[in-house]
Structure 1
Amino acid sequence: MSTANSKRFAPLVNTTTLVILAGALVLSAAMGIRQTFGLFIGPFSFDRGLPVTLIAFAIALHNLVWGFAQPFAGAAADRYGSAPVVAFGATTFAAGLGLAAVAPGGAMLIVGMGLLVGIGVSCTTFGVVLPAVGRVASPEKRSMAMGLVSAGGSAGQVLMIPLVQTIRLGSGIAASLFALAFLMLLVAPLGIVLDRGARAGATVHAAPAVPLRDVLRQAVRHRGYRLLTLGFFTCGFQLAFISTHLPEYLTLCHMPLGLGATALALIGLFNMAGSWGCGWLGGRFRQHYVLGWLYLIRSVTIGAFFLLPKTAESVVIFAAIMGLTWLGTVPLTSGLVAKVFGTRHLGSLFGVCFLSHQIGSFLGAWLGGLVFDLTGSYSLLWEATVVSGLIAALLHFPIDDSAVPAPKLRSQPAAA
């Protein structure tokens, strides 16, 4: 009997492993590429004569478009599967990078790096990948599996930033963006693996077919979901500001050339451990408590970095701690949504929650450029990231994480 059980269990293990690997590769490409955008602010400004505010707006816009497109991408993946969504997203992402590579002015840069990249990212990142992982993983292992995918995805940031820096310095902006577009196209077929895994998991974790509008109505009325959504705004605000403007800020602080790229790469490196660790903690402790402490630690770290003297050592320490708390919010947030509402509509529900994250991302990236152009300093934004993080911590601690029953179907079939 144990042999028979082992034979039945082995395919599920293999499927789960394949889904985790495929999801990590897709996330690694998409997230790694978008984390390099801060390296282009100076070159676009100096080489093509574009104002920092406009470049920051293009980068910020992709975050906003990503946020508004994410519920639709998640809903499409819930309904049609990951394969067509990932393939469409990867192609659109690559087209946006290609357009930015040849953009002679601000309008094409905004369309490419703002609109097209935003749509592409929504189809190739958390709102599509993590629900596929959540469906194939067992409830007790779900947080860990999502953490592993997020950690694997961080490898892209570690690898992409030095790659982009090397190509850009040697061959220019266009060559580096075309190289990134080619890499994005390579991951387009991996949605097929996510689809197969989701179908395998659906046989175990199937849920009643409740209309999406009823599920969304239930989520909006849930106080914990509202608090989680509001708190997620801060994550986007903090991360977008830092990833977009940290290299330029360090230049203003007279730090060595290239330290900004090194700091972003270190954030990605430590995020691998941080995402896995947050997923592990989320499987052993109540996820909203872990989120509260994560936001608190992140805000204290940002405040200390801003107030203390800037040295190469302080930058490395800051990058390491930020990396440990960087994207750990994502498996915890998506895992908490799955715990409360189940996995049937996880892509849609997480997508709505993620919209708040991306509104914060838009403001973090765009306001950084705007405030700098107006004041010549990033100080106001550093202070805002600290305050918003403290508020987010307070919002998460009182969340009720009890599972809620699925909404009842409005029309039941008549009894025979």
Structure 2
Amino acid sequence: MTATTSSTRQDGWRTPFVIILCGCLIGLLSFGPRSVVGMFLMPVSTENGWTRDILSLTIAIQNLMWGVGQPFAGAIADRFGTLKVFWAGALMYGLGLACMVLPLPPLAMHVLSGTLVGLGLAGVSFNLVLACFAKLLPESRRASAMGMGTAASSFGQFVFAPLTPFLIDMLGWKAALLVFSCVPVLIIPLSFALATRPSSGVGQGTGAEMSIAATLKQAFAHPSYIYLVIGFFTCGFQLAFITTHYPTYLRDLNIEAWVAGVALALIGLFNIVGSLSAGWLSARMSKRWLLVWIYFSRGAAVVLLFVFPPSTALALVFAALMGLLWLSTVPPTSGLVALMFGTRYMAMLYGFVFFSHQVGGFLGAWLGGVMYERTGSYEVMWYLSILFCIGSGLINIPIKERPVAQPVAVPAE
């Protein structure tokens, strides 16, 4: 009897519908506040008398610590179950957001808010939700569920993006941040639907008996996994750069302030379509070629910013195009991890792929501020974004879409 079947019989209320619904809500609540942190870049910097690169480094550290924490959070969830990981992540996430309103010196802001938000996200983000979907849902529903979970995270951005400037105007930026710091607590009751037993899931062949160390050794010796890890860097670089600096980029172009909120909302809205489509396509076509197409299309979307003169219309069209491609990389990427290595250590192995994503996120958020202070514009960052898209598209081409051969157990003499 599989772990999923056993779980279903013992917890009859946790139907696939309930699991997907609660997982999607967790994705919405975790990604929403994080996606709008860039809107606080100018208020926090002005309040503290900082240049843009200082808070950009805090946001960059949040991305990096999210990536650093993800494999560990995944390994703990794989080994001991997910509940405590969700609970600890929700509390750290909320506390880290609350720290941003304090009059802290830069180093303290980097250490407290950067570390707490990053590690908190590692425990509650859609990455862990997708791993739960892989463990708890039948294989026939995994790809579509992963698309829905990713889309729900984007819907969080769609909800919080227009809400943020409204709350800042009505309550002030500090009160708005404190409101958002309470949101992660709502994840705790929802997490019961995604509870997994220790070491649940299945591997490929004899992989169910492999240790964590043996699994990691096998994964990092497999070229296709390495290509996947490297390619995912670009996704994080673009996402962090745009969410952190696109609002101020538009402001520098003298585009009205409301456009930034609408643009981020459009990214979230169109990403719902893109993520659901990517989940549907992942079950019906080559996952690696889907990734190649997505990365090349992202680069083409950025080229539009240089072909046409700046305008409100261009800002919104670019946001819509990027939204279609925003998190559409996640279903095929997570699907390839599950295909190659099975689901037993899915959270951990996808966590290492996501670490590459967050290294890119660190550089996207931090270098955006640094390059602006040094050159007075974001032009270099946009060129880097195009270059990385081309590189990631190319590196995904040689990926082999098949289960990794498992070592044959040798009986003890």
Equivalent positions of 1:142-161 (< 5 A) are: 142-161=142-161
Native 8 Å contact 2:228 2:333 kept in 1: yes
- Residue 392 of structure 1: aligned partner: 392
Q: Which moved more, 1:62-71 or 1:152-161?
A: 152-161
Q: Which moved more, 1:157-166 or 1:337-346?
A: 157-166
Q: 2-side partners of 1:205 and 1:103: how far apart? A: 52
Letter in 2 for 1:248: T
Task: Tell me the percent identity.
Answer: 37
Q: 1:337-380 deviations in whole A, cap 9, x for unaligned?
A: 00111111111111111111110000000000000001101000
Letter in 1 for 2:397: F
1:219 is displaced (CA, Å) by 0.8
Q: 1-side partners of 2:199 and 2:20: how far apart? A: 14
Q: 1:233-290 deviations in whole A, cap 9, x for unaligned?
A: 0111111111110000001111111211110111001111111110001000011110
- Residue 22 of structure 1: aligned partner: 22
Equivalent positions of 1:111-122 (< 5 A) are: 111-122=111-122
1:162 is displaced (CA, Å) by 2.0
Letter in 1 for 2:194: L
TM-score (norm 1): 0.92
Structure 1 unaligned residues grouped into runs of 5+: 1-7
Q: Which moved more, 1:280-289 or 1:312-321?
A: 312-321
Native 8 Å contact 1:66 1:358 kept in 2: yes
Native 8 Å contact 2:14 2:193 kept in 1: no
- Residue 34 of structure 2: aligned partner: 34
1:111 is displaced (CA, Å) by 2.6
- Residue 352 of structure 2: aligned partner: 352
Paired residue secondary structure (2:91): helix
- Residue 341 of structure 2: aligned partner: 341
Q: 2-side partners of 1:204 and 1:222: how far apart? A: 16
Q: Does 1:281 align with 2:281?
A: yes
Equivalent positions of 1:2-401 (< 5 A) are: 15-195=15-195, 202=201, 208-401=208-401
Letter in 2 for 1:303: V
Q: 1-side partners of 2:94 and 2:260: how far apart? A: 25
Q: 1-side partners of 2:328 and 2:381: how far apart? A: 22
Native 8 Å contact 2:58 2:109 kept in 1: yes
Q: 2-side partners of 1:297 and 1:13: how far apart? A: 42
Native 8 Å contact 2:80 2:198 kept in 1: no
Q: 2-side partners of 1:205 and 1:360: how far apart? A: 30
Native 8 Å contact 1:32 1:159 kept in 2: yes
Native 8 Å contact 1:100 1:108 kept in 2: no
Q: 1:169-210 deviations in whole A, cap 9, x for unaligned?
A: 2222221111011111111232221015x7998499996231
Native 8 Å contact 1:210 1:406 kept in 2: no
Q: 2-side partners of 1:216 and 1:204: how far apart? A: 13
CA spacing shift, 1:13–1:296, aligned 2, 3 Å: farther
Q: 1-side partners of 2:42 and 2:338: how far apart? A: 41
1:298 is displaced (CA, Å) by 0.8
- Residue 4 of structure 1: aligned partner: none
CA spacing shift, 1:19–1:412, aligned 2, 3 Å: farther
CA spacing shift, 1:49–1:405, aligned 2, 3 Å: same
Q: 1:154-175 deviations in whole A, cap 9, x for unaligned?
A: 2111111222221212222221
Native 8 Å contact 2:79 2:198 kept in 1: no
1:27 is displaced (CA, Å) by 1.2
CA spacing shift, 1:81–1:331, aligned 2, 3 Å: same
Letter in 1 for 2:368: G
CA spacing shift, 1:242–1:271, aligned 2, 3 Å: same
Letter in 1 for 2:376: G
Q: Give aligned pairs, total.
A: 404
1:44 is displaced (CA, Å) by 1.2
Paired residue secondary structure (1:328): coil
Native 8 Å contact 1:215 1:407 kept in 2: no
Paired residue secondary structure (1:154): helix
- Residue 5 of structure 1: aligned partner: none
Letter in 2 for 1:397: I
- Residue 404 of structure 2: aligned partner: 404
Paired residue secondary structure (1:102): coil
Native 8 Å contact 2:201 2:343 kept in 1: no
Structure 2 unaligned residues grouped into runs of 5+: 1-7
Q: 1-side partners of 2:251 and 2:73: how far apart? A: 38
Native 8 Å contact 2:274 2:328 kept in 1: yes
Q: 2-side partners of 1:300 and 1:246: how far apart? A: 17
CA spacing shift, 1:407–1:215, aligned 2, 3 Å: farther
TM-score (norm 2): 0.93
Native 8 Å contact 1:24 1:153 kept in 2: yes
